[in-house]
Amino acid sequence: MISIPPLRVHWDLDDDPNGNVWHIAEHGITKDEVEEVLMEPECVDVSRSSGRRIAIGEAAGGRVLLVVFEDIDECTVYPVTAYEIEG
């Protein structure tokens, strides 16, 4: 297991329709699930399409998620989007 320690996750306001909370929720994923994957990812890599970092891991509910994120500083990340990996 690969970690991204220590980690703080920056979330936009819940009521911001242009923010990361809404964008992730559009994919049926919660902030808690994203944080679970970011805290204990199975894999961390770089997206070929966006050049952003990605974390892949299993949330507590058993779903495997891919989280696209940006580093704000050495201990803070900004989740851009997340979605469930089917299959």
Residues in the chain: 87
83/66 Cα distance (integer angstroms): 6
How many CB atoms sit inside 10 A of residue 18's CB? 7
Out of 3.40.50, 3.10.450, 3.40.30, 2.130.10, the CATH code matching 8-84 is 3.10.450
List pLDDT tens digits, range 44-87: 999 999 999 999 999 988 999 999 999 999 889 999 999 999 86
State how beta strands 8-9 and 76-84 pair.
parallel
- pLDDT on residue 36: 95
Whether the predicted pLDDT of 14 surpasses 90 = no
